[in-house]
Amino acid sequence: MSTDRVINYVICEMNEEMKGEFQKQVNYIMDRKDTEKDIAEHVKAIFDSKYAPNWHCVVGKHFASFVTY
């Protein structure tokens, strides 16, 4: 049984299906793993396999990033 967590999206280019999958995976893995590294690896692996490779996943507190492509 997983705990439902509230996820707030500020800017997101994922469609509703992807957001639902993300919510499901985050709730699943956060009940089972403690480290940010393990959580990020799990979410990245799921998205790489389901939605094609090259996803990036960052989990943590007090960080900032700037990404461009």
pTM for this one? 0.77
2 falls in which pLDDT band (50, 70, 90)?
Answer: low
Q: Are 58 and 65 in contact (CB under 8 A)?
A: yes
Tell me how far apart the alpha carbons of residues 23 and 68 are, in angstroms, rounded to a whole number: 25
Q: What is the pLDDT of residues 31-55, one digit of tens each?
A: 999 899 999 999 999 999 999 989 9
> Could you tell me the residue ranges of all domains in the chain?
16-51
58 falls in which pLDDT band (50, 70, 90)?
Answer: confident
